[in-house]
Amino acid sequence: MYNVREISPQIYWIGGNDRRLEQFENLFPLANGVSYNSWLILDEKTAIIDTVDDAITDQYLENIEHLMQGRELDYLIINHMEPDHCGNIENLIRRYPNVKVVGNKKSFQLFNQFYNMDITDNQMLAGEGDEINLGNHNLKFITAPMVHWPEVMMNYETTKGILFSADAFGTFGALAGNLFDDEVDYKNLYLDESRRYYANIVGKFGAQVQSVFRKISSFEINMICSLHGPIFRSDLNLILDLYDKWSKYEPEKEGVVIFYGSMYGNTANTADSLANKLGQRGVKDIRVYDVSKTHPSYIISDIWKYSHMVAAAPTYNMGLYYPMDNLLHEMISLGVKNRKVSIIGNHSWASAAHKIMTERFSSMKNMEIIGEELDIKSRLKDNEESKLDDLADAIAASVLGKTEE
């Protein structure tokens, strides 16, 4: 059965959910699936904005068939050529062979790389500031290169103030009937997953997000329709302010994310003891993760959220314990910066982990080291507690000092 909703007169959500997918991009765990949003405008002219992943093709085509009632599709607008949104371009062209497929040169280049269909006769180029008038509605194109692919565009519907924002402002997590931010407890149901989505997928491209902010700053935006997750129509500033902060690599909160690698529990013991001491010193927001257990995307998400981090790991094969090494490489790749860091190494006969972690953090921008070097030998003993107290004092002073400002 069709499953659609009118979100504004003549504009319909025609997307769907995938709750079977284990990992988004075969990389990021999905605890509660993901939605693929697509939009149909039934005006004097008809237009579809982006399609959906081929995992939900049947539902998608049924939705379109129900709403179109035999009408012709005039425009298929391709704002993003990643396959989770392009899985049905070919299907729609087969059904509507006269449709104008609207994209930029990069979009069509990517289409030709991913697919075999020749759509030369359907192509219509659109770029910065171009407009398509549908009758009552008018779509203005905004280019958003590298948010997070090079061809990305957004559309601003000028009569209603609706921003079709491609992946931006989207989230992991399937929709559950309620489509608008004011119909769900967004902060509890989606916000953490929205941050995880941003940090891991868009996080590297903060400067490009800021560039889009400059372009849309003069627009009156009443609704934001992302390709993943709920529509914002009530508290737009919640997500706009967070995106501004996230893309400037500014922490949301003072707090400490402790992540450790531990083969036999000794580094874990040090990390837990440090967390205990921070708690006793009045630090409220402390998160502790085992890098061998928790998927890096969750740790990265909290690194984006909080001001401080502590990395603790042993030496392994004269190098750094692999899961920690992997996590730090991801942080470097994503451009993590502007954080305060403490480093705890562990080794039994030759020290490498502390040095490598220090080098990794030094290669990130504006990372301030908090506390003295702590490189333990196999296990921190009771008679060495003062070293951990000193580190806890330094971190707590930094966190609480900032909080009290």
Binding site for ligand FEO (CB under 6 A): 80, 82, 84-85, 148-149, 167, 227-228
Nearer to ligand FEO, 149 or 180 (CB): 149
| 165 vs 315, beta carbon nearer ligand FEO | 165
Distance CA 278, CA 284 (A): 8
Q: Pick from 211, 204, 210: which is nearest to 337 by CA?
A: 204
Task: Please report how close the Cβ of residue 166 comes to ligand FEO at its closest, in angstroms.
Answer: 7
Sign of CA dihedral 392, 393, 395, 399: positive
User: CB of residue 95 vs ligand FEO: minimum separation in angstroms?
Assistant: 23
Q: Which is nearer to ligand FEO, 167 or 330 (CB)?
A: 167
Q: Which residue is nearest to ligand FEO (CB)?
A: 82
Cβ-based nearer residue to ligand FEO, 84 or 330: 84
User: What is the SS3 assignment for 50-66?
Assistant: CCCCHHHHHHHHHHHHH
Least distance (Å) between residue 82 CB and ligand FEO: 4
Residue 211 or 292 having the CB closest to ligand FEO: 211
Ramachandran sector of residue 171 (left: φ over 0; alpha: ψ -120 to 50; beta: rest):
beta
Minimum CB distance to ligand FEO, residue 167 (Å): 4
Residue 101 Cβ vs ligand FEO, minimum distance, rounded to whole Å = 18
What DSSP character marks residue 136? S
**Closest C-alpha to 293, from 29, 24, 25, 32:** 29
362 Cβ contact list (under 8 Å, min separation 6)? none
What six digits make up the tokens of 133? 């008038």
The vertex-373 CA angle with 372 and 374, nearest 5°, equals 110
Residue 52: CB minimum distance to ligand FEO, A: 10
Q: Are 392 and 274 in contact (CB under 8 A)?
A: yes
**Taking a C-beta distance cutoff of 8 angstroms, is the pair 243, 209 a contact?**
yes
- 141 vs 260 by CB, closer to ligand FEO: 141
Task: Report in angstroms how near the CB of residue 294 gets to ligand FEO at its nearest.
Answer: 24
Nearer to ligand FEO, 196 or 277 (CB): 196
